[in-house]
Structure 1
């Protein structure tokens, strides 16, 4: 089954920037767009009115079988448990492979649409959409050789986070008697793990990611992550774990915690959460 076409909210004025936002499990692109645009900043307006020259792209996942719920669900990958994220985690691999490839296609298209201005294209998501957005960036080192404008994620987690934390800790221990691994070392370590998980073992030499000692451009992208401390669906501890890994890998990372958001805490806190998104997007799009 193919992925449905993305839901697009066109700019109100001259198009200068694009943001691609991924929905959570059992939702879809149009539904996520409707929920997002019905939420207001402290200005009393939705994000679209605050950013009239932005194109908003809301991809929709294809339906896939849920081993937990024993039914077809619109989801980026099959996540069996958020109580024990190691439980049956291999079920995630096929969906991650398909979804990461699909979102990279969209990301490349939007960069081309803006005449190659990767810094004017942003990526993000909520819940499972955040998880998929993170993996997309970690796997993008060959296909997107530039830093993008920013990455935003809320109420989410990181697939295979325990393995990634162990991998980073082991690399740090290996080098404790010498120099601490550089950011570039960690970037290549994590990227190679993610690519090998969905595509098989990676070659020792890469396009511009292996052996150079330089930071990987897309993994210097600034990041905004947030989570409700009272999130009833994705425990905040999983968001904090994702934060720890992202801080090791990415550029400047901002973290926001909220209490009392809608949806039993599994949503962006209104209006302050939307103010934080607006501030993040505006501060990284000056002069675009």
Structure 2
């Protein structure tokens, strides 16, 4: 049986370790490769001269008491090709996002979300409560993180999805359109993945308390913004208590304004965030240099 590559872990910069972010890379990437882009790159914004010229403060500095964990997906074949493959959380039949290969995605979504739940449990066993654990992912990592969050039978500290979508999205939309509730939708995910776990009213209610931040680039041509919008609408339709939607003038990646918004949002959720005043005024809306749209509606 295939094994995942070793985790790349960055312990909290400043003791004590109070929270953990588990970051899921995109298709074809690795945890080791994406980590420096997120944690080592200085953040800049148009808020002030100091923020424009910043060369020291990174996303990791904004969350000094947070441990960052970067797992790597297994190598899987590409669609129906008989050989080859690269790191991906689940198989897809092409580079185009489509609902037409759902059955081929089941094995990977199940294995990857089970693996992510193991990582969450490891943090809980180390003393970090689920309410202080954040799932964060980009592209296919966003899709996988969303599924893992929906399958988790409790409240997490948050889910942050960037430039992504939701597996089995059309089926999910149809369930809600036909009057299905959150329990029905979450049970559908378990049944789809061949699990026997029963979703109770209590566990579904706890899952819905996980706050959600979804960001997407308006210039993303690889995973078009509509994919993120559909994810947002399904989560809101399922009854998640908070679903924040933010768009940025960027392609298939994140930008500094998005990282700043995420840090502000985590601060509002009770996470320890430092140095954020360097990049932002009194309100999130003061960051308008890239045409940011930020709403909880």
Question: Normalization by structure 1: what TM-score?
Answer: 0.84
For residues 84 and 22 of structure 1, do their structure 2 counterparts lie closer, same or farther at Cα, with a shift above 3 Å needed?
closer
Which residue does the alignment assign to 2:281? Answer: none
Task: Select which of 32, 35, 43 maps to 1:33.
Answer: 35
1:130 & 1:215 partners in 2: Cα distance? 21
Specify every segment of 5 or more residues in structure 2 that has no aligned partner in the other structure, as ranges.
46-50, 274-297
1:215 & 1:72 partners in 2: Cα distance? 36
1:13 & 1:84 partners in 2: Cα distance? 40
Q: How many angstroms does 1:71 deviate by?
A: 2.4
1:237 & 1:68 partners in 2: Cα distance? 26
Q: How many angstroms does 1:267 deviate by?
A: 0.5
Specify every segment of 5 or more residues in structure 1 that has no aligned partner in the other structure, as ranges.
173-185
Which residue does the alignment assign to 1:235? Answer: 224
Which residue does the alignment assign to 1:284? Answer: 269
Q: How many angstroms does 1:199 deviate by?
A: 1.8
For residues 77 and 287 of structure 1, do their structure 2 counterparts lie closer, same or farther at Cα, with a shift above 3 Å needed?
closer
1:81 & 1:228 partners in 2: Cα distance? 21
Q: How many angstroms does 1:140 deviate by?
A: 1.5
Which residue does the alignment assign to 1:180? Answer: none
Q: How many angstroms does 1:158 deviate by?
A: 0.6
Task: Select which of 245, 249, 272 maps to 1:255.
Answer: 245
Q: 1:111-162, CA deviations, whole angstroms, 9 ceiling, x for partnerless residues? A: 22235x2111111100000000011011122xxxx31111100000111101
Cα-Cα RMSD:
2.0
Contact 1:124 1:152 in 2 (8 A): yes
Contact 1:22 1:59 in 2 (8 A): yes
Q: How many angstroms does 1:211 deviate by?
A: 5.0
Which residue does the alignment assign to 1:19? Answer: 21
Which residue does the alignment assign to 1:59? Answer: 71
SS in 1 for 2:33: helix
Q: 1:223-259, CA deviations, whole angstroms, 9 ceiling, x for partnerless residues? A: 0001111102111111111110011232211001111
Q: How many angstroms does 1:286 deviate by?
A: 4.5
Which residue does the alignment assign to 2:282? Answer: none
Matches within 5 A, 1:184-199: 186-199=181-194
Q: 1:71-116, CA deviations, whole angstroms, 9 ceiling, x for partnerless residues? A: 211000012246461222211111011101100000111122235x
Which residue does the alignment assign to 2:84? Answer: 71
Question: Normalization by structure 2: what TM-score?
Answer: 0.81
Q: Does 1:210 align with 2:200?
A: yes
For residues 193 and 41 of structure 1, do their structure 2 counterparts lie closer, same or farther at Cα, with a shift above 3 Å needed?
farther
Which residue does the alignment assign to 2:259? Answer: 274
The structure 1 segments of at least 4 consecutive aligned residues displaced by more than 6 Å after TM superposition are none
